[in-house]
Amino acid sequence: MTDSVTAAEPGTSPSASRRPWWPPALAGVLALALGLAVAEVIAGALGRAETPVVAVGEEFIDLTPSWLKDLAIDLFGTNDKTALLVGMAVVLVALGAAIGVLTARRRTAGIAAAAALLGVAALAVWSRPDSTGADLVPTIAAGVVALPVLSWLVGKAAQPPTVDDAQPAPRLTGPSRRSFLTAAGVTAGLAAAGGLIGRALGARRLGVEESRDDLAASIDLPRPDVPSGVDLVVDGAQPWRTPTQDFYRIDTALSVPLVRAEDWSLRVHGMVENEVELDYQGLVDLGLVDRWLTLNCVSNEVGGNLIGNALWTGVPIADVLALAVPAADADAVLSRSQDGWTAGTPLDVLTDGRDALFALGMNGGPLPVEHGFPVRMIVPGLYGYVSATKWVVELEVSRFDDFEAYWTTRGWAERGPVKVASRIDVPRGSADVEAGTVAVAGVAWAQHRGIAAVQVRVDDGDWADARLADVPSSDTWRQWVWDWDAEPGEHRLQVRAVTADGEVQTGDEAQPVPDGATGWHTVTVDVG
């Protein structure tokens, strides 16, 4: 027997039992692909972000238990979304193939299964926080196209084969095979074209990029010149200013929210004397400031790179809250993004005079869409998950007792002050270095408290003070370097920092969950 022969179903003719399984499977995959491609085109044309694929992926992200999410970030880092899309593609191919095979055997059951699959996608679209009835249109169109195409293509695939006796095994050959392959080829071509057109339309969705370009011209953004003395420029170390394209990205959005600056507004409500609604120009008119601030993720492991430092341009959050006048018994602000993500931030942190900003510029350019265009929050001294809401559209002045924010319902702490930490950038772990003077260098951070000292030790020896670079404020990370007289052999380097208010970084090791990792970054090197 060969792989082109399926097992006979009771009551089916011998010729049916000798039909290969792959043509209906291929038909199922292609019908589904065409339907989803049509959905992408229509979503792009309508300027909708929710396609069936995107909505299912986002629901999946929101429904996955936190341990699995943490594992995915661990395994794939910032490629976690690519990994999810690849995983979804594999599942879709398998489902499409199964539906095709089922349709060849029992047409109504197969078509019902395909309809059920799209029904699940429609439910996912409907459950997205920002979805409206119009967001269902692409998914409905997918069904309108995919179901008839499935029936038609499987019909062609399942036509009785011309049995070719010259072949060692029965195969689909002759006119019926050619006709199926032509139909399959046309469907595949249309699906590919649809996918490309959908992407092209999607890329320009709502003209958000144009909106960014307009701002670059109309708003006075600073040149992101690095202050003198902050960058030690050690070979192989990270630059003090993180280039925008290298800045880490963490969020739950599979398709980024697309909001034009001219359509954006911010609503401040809840426990306030005055409800405030600001549009983009209204926000800008409050007065822009430029600040160097370091942002990091609570999921960052010891030695990890979910941290970046940039020049942010924006409006102090305190200025906006002052217009609203929070009630005396309020202690928190729940911020909400356009796609429904939330963060809970202590009210006193937002009003104690630190540079907590509604940022609209990053490193001298308009905020990139992935980093929250048109407006995001950033609060020095707090991890991103409790403060740095991207695509922010709403502030609700409230009490911590009265709400739970996105990550707090998933096992992370309610409060997320940044823990003092330090990292060795060079030499890299398991590097081979030459004996002699070796520059050991890296960064340390304790935003808003400041770094007073960084110490390095070798093989559990005495702690030695590193030389610190300058910083413009206590709100950024601080570079350090220490000249090591390296002797041949394997050595273990460790770093710890001391804050300006006297806290010595603990060597106790803790995982990122629930409120940030601790422990000394340790690097082992081979000196030759």
Where does this chain bind Mo ion (CB under 5 A)? 250, 297, 384-385
Q: Cα(415)–Cα(357) distance, rounded to whole angstroms?
A: 19
Contact status: 337 vs ligand MTE (CB under 6 A): yes
Contact status: 384 vs ligand MTE (CB under 6 A): yes
What angle (nearest 5°) sits at the alpha carbon of residue 79, between those of residues 76 and 83?
Answer: 75
Give the shortest CB-282-to-ligand MTE separation in angstroms. Answer: 21
Contact status: 69 vs ligand MTE (CB under 6 A): no
Phi, then psi, of 146 in degrees rounded to 5: -65, -40
Contact status: 447 vs ligand MTE (CB under 6 A): no
Q: Take residue 345 and report the two structure tokens written for it.
A: 């931030």
Return the one option of ligand MTE, Mo ion, none that residue 135 interacts with (CB less than 5 to 8 A, by type).
Answer: none
Between 53 and 293, name the residue whose CB sits nearer to Mo ion.
293
Q: How long is the chain?
A: 528
Contact status: 412 vs ligand MTE (CB under 6 A): no
Return the one option of ligand MTE, Mo ion, none that residue 60 interacts with (CB less than 5 to 8 A, by type).
Answer: none
Contact status: 264 vs ligand MTE (CB under 6 A): no
Between 297 and 377, name the residue whose CB sits nearer to Mo ion.
297
How far is residue 1 CA from its own chain's centroid? Answer: 48
Tell me the CA distances in angstroms from 118 to 24, 87, 89, 214, 505, one per residue in order.
Answer: 19, 18, 15, 39, 52
- Which residues lie across from 522 on neighbouring strands? 494
Return the one option of ligand MTE, Mo ion, none that residue 410 interacts with (CB less than 5 to 8 A, by type).
Answer: none
- Please measure the distance between the N-terminal and C-terminal CA atoms of the chain and give it in whole angstroms: 61
Q: Report yes or no: 381 and 418 within 8 Å, Cβ to Cβ.
A: yes
Q: Cα(484)–Cα(453) distance, rounded to whole angstroms?
A: 17
Contact status: 415 vs ligand MTE (CB under 6 A): no
Give the shortest CB-124-to-ligand MTE separation in angstroms. Answer: 18
Give the shortest CB-334-to-ligand MTE separation in angstroms. Answer: 13
Between 78 and 179, name the residue whose CB sits nearer to ligand MTE.
78
Q: Cα(23)–Cα(153) distance, rounded to whole angstroms?
A: 9
Between 309 and 337, name the residue whose CB sits nearer to ligand MTE.
337
Contact status: 258 vs ligand MTE (CB under 6 A): no
Between 183 and 307, name the residue whose CB sits nearer to ligand MTE.
307
Between 308 and 442, name the residue whose CB sits nearer to ligand MTE.
308
Buried b (16+ CB within 10 A) or exposed e, 306-337: bbbbbbbbbbbbeebbeebebeeebbbbbbbb
Tell me the CA distances in angstroms from 403 to 24, 234, 335, 344, 411, one per residue in order.
Answer: 51, 46, 11, 8, 15
Contact status: 477 vs ligand MTE (CB under 6 A): no
The closest residue (CB) to ligand MTE is 384
Tell me the CA distances in angstroms from 126 to 59, 122, 279, 308, 389, one per residue in order.
Answer: 10, 6, 28, 35, 23
The closest residue (CB) to Mo ion is 297
Buried b (16+ CB within 10 A) or exposed e, 61-77: bbeeeeeebbebbeeee
Give the shortest CB-472-to-ligand MTE separation in angstroms. Answer: 20
Contact status: 385 vs ligand MTE (CB under 6 A): yes
* Strands annotated E in 231-331: 265-270, 276-279, 289-296, 307-316
Contact status: 333 vs ligand MTE (CB under 6 A): no
Contact status: 251 vs ligand MTE (CB under 6 A): yes
Q: Cα(495)–Cα(509) distance, rounded to whole angstroms?
A: 14
Using CB under 6 A, which of the segments 158-166, 325-333, 387-395, 451-459 binds ligand MTE?
387-395
Contact status: 312 vs ligand MTE (CB under 6 A): no
Contact status: 73 vs ligand MTE (CB under 6 A): no
Give the shortest CB-410-to-ligand MTE separation in angstroms. Answer: 11
Q: Take residue 346 and report the two structure tokens written for it.
A: 């202590």
Return the one option of Mo ion, ligand MTE, none that residue 520 interacts with (CB less than 5 to 8 A, by type).
Answer: none
Q: Which of 248, 312, 412, 480 binds ligand MTE (CB under 6 A)?
A: 248
Phi, then psi, of 296 in degrees rounded to 5: -140, 160
Strands 365-366 and 357-362: antiparallel
Q: Which of 244, 389, 398, 505 binds ligand MTE (CB under 6 A)?
A: 389
Nearest to 407 by CA among 359, 332, 351, 345: 345
Between 337 and 345, name the residue whose CB sits nearer to ligand MTE.
337
Return the one option of ligand MTE, Mo ion, none that residue 389 interacts with (CB less than 5 to 8 A, by type).
Answer: ligand MTE
Between 143 and 384, name the residue whose CB sits nearer to ligand MTE.
384
Q: Which of 93, 113, 120, 249 binds ligand MTE (CB under 6 A)?
A: 249
Q: Which of 154, 184, 254, 297 binds ligand MTE (CB under 6 A)?
A: 297
Q: Take residue 116 and report the two structure tokens written for it.
A: 């059920």
Between 145 and 306, name the residue whose CB sits nearer to Mo ion.
306
- Which residues lie across from 319 on neighbouring strands? none
Q: CA neighbours within 13 Å on the CB side: how many for 304? A: 21
Using CB under 6 A, which of the segments 272-280, 380-388, 395-403, 447-455 binds ligand MTE?
380-388
* Contacts to ligand MTE by CB under 6 A: 247-252, 295, 297, 337, 341, 371, 384-385, 388-391
